[in-house]
Protein backbone atom coordinates (compact mmCIF):
# COMPACT_ATOMS: atom_id res chain seq x y z
CA UNK A 1 0.00 0.00 0.00
CA UNK A 2 1.48 3.36 -1.08
CA UNK A 3 1.32 6.37 1.17
CA UNK A 4 0.23 9.55 -0.50
CA UNK A 5 1.80 12.82 0.68
CA UNK A 6 -0.67 15.60 1.02
CA UNK A 7 0.65 19.23 0.89
CA UNK A 8 -1.17 21.48 3.33
CA UNK A 9 -2.06 25.03 2.24
CA UNK A 10 0.21 26.46 4.98
CA UNK A 11 3.24 24.55 3.73
CA UNK A 12 2.55 25.64 0.16
CA UNK A 13 2.26 29.26 1.23
CA UNK A 14 5.59 29.14 3.12
CA UNK A 15 7.20 27.62 0.09
CA UNK A 16 6.01 30.53 -2.04
CA UNK A 17 6.60 33.42 0.40
CA UNK A 18 9.95 32.41 1.94
CA UNK A 19 11.97 32.90 -1.27
CA UNK A 20 10.40 36.32 -1.64
CA UNK A 21 11.54 37.32 1.88
CA UNK A 22 15.04 36.00 1.21
CA UNK A 23 15.30 37.86 -2.10
CA UNK A 24 14.01 41.06 -0.53
CA UNK A 25 16.43 40.84 2.40
CA UNK A 26 19.32 40.11 0.02
CA UNK A 27 18.36 43.06 -2.19
CA UNK A 28 18.06 45.35 0.85
CA UNK A 29 21.51 44.26 2.05
CA UNK A 30 22.98 45.06 -1.34
CA UNK A 31 21.21 48.42 -1.33
CA UNK A 32 22.53 49.26 2.17
CA UNK A 33 26.04 48.25 1.16
CA UNK A 34 25.73 50.39 -1.95
CA UNK A 35 24.57 53.41 0.10
CA UNK A 36 27.41 52.92 2.60
CA UNK A 37 29.92 52.58 -0.24
CA UNK A 38 28.58 55.66 -1.99
CA UNK A 39 28.78 57.70 1.23
CA UNK A 40 32.35 56.53 1.85
CA UNK A 41 33.37 57.52 -1.66
CA UNK A 42 31.58 60.86 -1.33
CA UNK A 43 33.30 61.65 2.00
CA UNK A 44 36.69 60.71 0.60
CA UNK A 45 36.20 62.92 -2.43
CA UNK A 46 34.99 65.79 -0.23
CA UNK A 47 38.05 65.53 2.02
CA UNK A 48 40.34 65.32 -1.00
CA UNK A 49 38.71 68.35 -2.61
CA UNK A 50 38.98 70.26 0.68
CA UNK A 51 42.70 69.54 0.92
CA UNK A 52 43.26 70.42 -2.71
CA UNK A 53 41.13 73.54 -2.31
CA UNK A 54 43.02 75.11 0.55
CA UNK A 55 46.40 73.98 -0.74
CA UNK A 56 45.65 75.51 -4.11
CA UNK A 57 44.71 78.77 -2.35
CA UNK A 58 48.04 78.74 -0.53
CA UNK A 59 49.81 78.71 -3.88
CA UNK A 60 48.19 82.08 -4.57
CA UNK A 61 51.34 84.08 -3.89
CA UNK A 62 54.85 84.43 -5.24
CA UNK A 63 58.09 82.56 -4.73
CA UNK A 64 59.84 83.67 -1.57
CA UNK A 65 63.30 85.11 -2.23
CA UNK A 66 65.61 84.39 0.68
CA UNK A 67 68.27 86.89 1.71
CA UNK A 68 71.34 86.92 -0.59
CA UNK A 69 73.64 87.45 2.39
CA UNK A 70 74.24 86.03 5.84
CA UNK A 71 73.74 87.73 9.20
CA UNK A 72 76.49 88.13 11.73
CA UNK A 73 73.92 88.18 14.53
CA UNK A 74 70.27 87.23 14.70
CA UNK A 75 67.81 86.16 12.00
CA UNK A 76 64.76 87.79 10.41
CA UNK A 77 62.19 85.15 11.41
CA UNK A 78 59.78 84.80 14.31
CA UNK A 79 61.55 82.73 17.01
CA UNK A 80 63.02 80.07 14.71
CA UNK A 81 64.88 79.85 11.40
CA UNK A 82 63.11 76.53 10.76
CA UNK A 83 59.73 76.06 9.11
CA UNK A 84 57.15 74.91 11.66
CA UNK A 85 53.66 73.44 11.49
CA UNK A 86 50.91 75.94 12.09
CA UNK A 87 47.48 77.01 10.94
CA UNK A 88 46.32 79.93 8.85
CA UNK A 89 43.13 81.57 7.62
CA UNK A 90 43.98 82.46 4.03
CA UNK A 91 41.51 83.90 1.57
CA UNK A 92 38.73 83.00 4.08
CA UNK A 93 39.84 79.34 4.12
CA UNK A 94 41.12 77.70 7.32
CA UNK A 95 44.22 75.56 6.71
CA UNK A 96 45.57 73.27 9.43
CA UNK A 97 48.98 71.61 9.86
CA UNK A 98 50.83 73.50 7.15
CA UNK A 99 54.50 74.48 7.21
CA UNK A 100 54.84 78.19 7.88
CA UNK A 101 57.44 80.80 8.68
CA UNK A 102 57.06 84.49 9.53
CA UNK A 103 59.69 86.90 8.20
CA UNK A 104 59.48 89.84 10.61
CA UNK A 105 61.83 92.05 8.60
CA UNK A 106 59.84 91.82 5.37
CA UNK A 107 56.60 91.24 7.34
CA UNK A 108 55.51 88.33 5.17
CA UNK A 109 54.28 84.80 5.90
CA UNK A 110 55.91 81.95 3.99
CA UNK A 111 54.26 78.63 3.15
CA UNK A 112 56.31 75.56 2.21
CA UNK A 113 55.23 72.41 0.40
CA UNK A 114 57.56 69.62 -0.70
CA UNK A 115 59.53 71.78 -3.11
CA UNK A 116 58.39 75.41 -3.00
CA UNK A 117 58.58 78.39 -0.64
CA UNK A 118 55.60 80.62 -1.34
CA UNK A 119 55.33 84.17 -0.02
CA UNK A 120 51.65 84.53 0.78
CA UNK A 121 49.67 87.66 0.01
CA UNK A 122 49.44 89.52 3.31
CA UNK A 123 46.06 91.12 2.65
CA UNK A 124 44.52 87.66 2.21
CA UNK A 125 45.67 86.52 5.68
CA UNK A 126 43.27 87.27 8.53
CA UNK A 127 45.13 85.24 11.18
CA UNK A 128 47.67 82.47 11.69
CA UNK A 129 49.21 80.47 14.52
CA UNK A 130 52.88 79.58 14.73
CA UNK A 131 54.99 78.06 17.52
CA UNK A 132 52.13 78.41 19.99
CA UNK A 133 51.50 82.09 19.19
CA UNK A 134 48.48 83.59 17.48
CA UNK A 135 48.78 86.47 15.03
CA UNK A 136 46.01 88.61 13.61
CA UNK A 137 46.20 91.09 10.75
CA UNK A 138 44.95 94.61 11.34
CA UNK A 139 44.40 96.91 8.39
CA UNK A 140 45.16 100.56 9.09
CA UNK A 141 42.12 101.80 7.19
CA UNK A 142 39.71 99.54 9.10
CA UNK A 143 41.19 99.97 12.59
CA UNK A 144 39.70 103.46 13.04
CA UNK A 145 42.61 104.35 15.30
CA UNK A 146 45.63 106.62 15.05
CA UNK A 147 47.51 104.05 17.14
CA UNK A 148 47.74 101.69 14.14
CA UNK A 149 50.14 103.56 11.88
CA UNK A 150 50.28 100.89 9.19
CA UNK A 151 48.72 97.53 8.34
CA UNK A 152 50.50 94.53 9.78
CA UNK A 153 50.53 91.33 11.85
CA UNK A 154 50.10 91.54 15.61
CA UNK A 155 50.87 88.83 18.15
CA UNK A 156 47.90 88.26 20.49
CA UNK A 157 49.41 87.80 23.96
CA UNK A 158 46.15 88.17 25.88
CA UNK A 159 42.62 87.73 24.56
CA UNK A 160 39.73 88.66 26.82
CA UNK A 161 37.24 91.51 26.85
CA UNK A 162 40.33 93.57 26.24
CA UNK A 163 43.04 92.48 23.83
CA UNK A 164 46.79 92.85 24.40
CA UNK A 165 48.91 92.83 21.26
CA UNK A 166 52.62 92.76 20.64
CA UNK A 167 54.62 93.64 17.55
CA UNK A 168 58.25 92.61 17.29
CA UNK A 169 59.76 94.94 14.72
CA UNK A 170 62.95 93.58 13.19
CA UNK A 171 65.31 95.47 10.93
CA UNK A 172 68.72 94.97 9.35
CA UNK A 173 71.66 96.93 10.71
CA UNK A 174 74.71 97.30 8.46
CA UNK A 175 78.23 97.86 9.77
CA UNK A 176 80.89 99.15 7.37
CA UNK A 177 83.32 100.48 10.00
CA UNK A 178 86.06 98.12 8.82
CA UNK A 179 86.33 98.46 5.05
CA UNK A 180 88.40 95.30 4.61
CA UNK A 181 85.68 93.23 6.24
CA UNK A 182 83.00 94.42 3.85
CA UNK A 183 79.44 94.96 5.05
CA UNK A 184 78.53 93.14 8.25
CA UNK A 185 74.80 92.72 8.75
CA UNK A 186 72.93 91.88 11.92
CA UNK A 187 69.29 91.83 13.01
CA UNK A 188 68.10 94.35 15.55
CA UNK A 189 64.62 94.40 17.03
CA UNK A 190 62.26 96.40 19.20
CA UNK A 191 58.89 95.62 20.71
CA UNK A 192 55.69 97.63 20.57
CA UNK A 193 52.61 96.89 22.67
CA UNK A 194 48.97 97.76 22.06
CA UNK A 195 45.70 97.36 23.93
CA UNK A 196 42.31 97.11 22.29
CA UNK A 197 39.54 98.27 24.58
CA UNK A 198 35.95 98.82 23.47
CA UNK A 199 37.07 98.27 19.85
CA UNK A 200 39.62 101.09 20.07
CA UNK A 201 43.38 100.58 19.87
CA UNK A 202 45.92 102.27 22.15
CA UNK A 203 49.72 102.30 22.09
CA UNK A 204 51.32 101.34 25.42
CA UNK A 205 54.81 102.78 25.83
CA UNK A 206 54.78 103.53 29.53
CA UNK A 207 53.07 102.84 32.85
CA UNK A 208 51.29 106.16 32.42
CA UNK A 209 49.82 105.00 29.09
CA UNK A 210 48.56 101.84 30.73
CA UNK A 211 46.93 103.65 33.64
CA UNK A 212 45.26 106.09 31.26
CA UNK A 213 43.78 103.21 29.23
CA UNK A 214 42.34 101.58 32.37
CA UNK A 215 41.61 104.85 34.18
CA UNK A 216 38.10 103.86 35.28
CA UNK A 217 39.78 101.34 37.64
CA UNK A 218 43.00 103.26 38.18
CA UNK A 219 43.15 103.00 41.99
CA UNK A 220 42.46 99.26 42.03
CA UNK A 221 45.10 98.67 39.36
CA UNK A 222 47.74 100.70 41.22
CA UNK A 223 47.08 98.63 44.36
CA UNK A 224 47.13 95.38 42.37
CA UNK A 225 50.44 96.33 40.75
CA UNK A 226 52.04 97.07 44.13
CA UNK A 227 50.65 93.95 45.82
CA UNK A 228 51.89 91.68 43.01
CA UNK A 229 55.21 93.55 42.61
CA UNK A 230 54.72 94.06 38.89
CA UNK A 231 57.60 95.92 37.28
CA UNK A 232 56.31 97.56 34.12
CA UNK A 233 59.69 98.95 33.09
CA UNK A 234 61.61 95.65 33.32
CA UNK A 235 58.82 93.19 32.52
CA UNK A 236 56.36 95.08 30.36
CA UNK A 237 54.68 92.09 28.69
CA UNK A 238 53.93 90.13 31.85
CA UNK A 239 52.78 93.25 33.71
CA UNK A 240 50.50 94.36 30.89
CA UNK A 241 48.91 90.91 30.50
CA UNK A 242 48.23 90.50 34.24
CA UNK A 243 46.80 93.99 34.58
CA UNK A 244 44.53 93.48 31.53
CA UNK A 245 43.29 90.22 33.06
CA UNK A 246 42.67 91.98 36.38
CA UNK A 247 40.86 94.84 34.65
CA UNK A 248 38.57 92.41 32.80
CA UNK A 249 37.66 90.72 36.10
CA UNK A 250 36.87 94.09 37.69
CA UNK A 251 34.70 95.01 34.71
CA UNK A 252 32.72 91.77 35.04
CA UNK A 253 32.20 92.23 38.79
CA UNK A 254 30.99 95.77 38.30
Cβ 193 vs Cβ 206: under 8 Å: no
Q: Report d(CA 254, CA 251) in Å as an integer.
A: 5
Length of the chain: 254
| Nearest of 126, 129, 101 to residue 113 by alpha carbon | 101
pLDDT at 39: 61
Please compute, for residue 217, the number of CA atoms within 13 A of its CA located in the half-sphere on the CB side. Answer: 18
Q: Looking at residue 73, what DSSP letter applies?
A: B
Per-residue pLDDT of the chain (254 residues; tens, 9 = 90+): 443 444 444 444 445 544 544 455 545 555 555 555 556 555 544 454 455 444 556 767 789 988 999 999 999 999 999 999 999 999 999 999 999 999 999 999 999 988 889 999 999 999 999 999 999 999 987 777 889 999 999 999 999 999 999 999 999 999 988 777 789 999 999 999 999 999 899 999 999 999 999 999 999 999 999 999 999 999 999 999 999 999 999 988 76
pLDDT at 50: 53
| Nearest of 144, 50, 36 to residue 97 by alpha carbon | 50
Amino acid sequence: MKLKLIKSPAVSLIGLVLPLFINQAFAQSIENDSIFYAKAISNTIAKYNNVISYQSRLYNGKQYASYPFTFKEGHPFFESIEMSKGSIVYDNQFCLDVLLQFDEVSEVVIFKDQTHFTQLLSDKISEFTLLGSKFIRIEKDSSNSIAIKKSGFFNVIYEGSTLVLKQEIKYIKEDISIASDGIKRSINSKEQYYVRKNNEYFIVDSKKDMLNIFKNHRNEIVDYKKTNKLNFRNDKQNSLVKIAQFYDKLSVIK
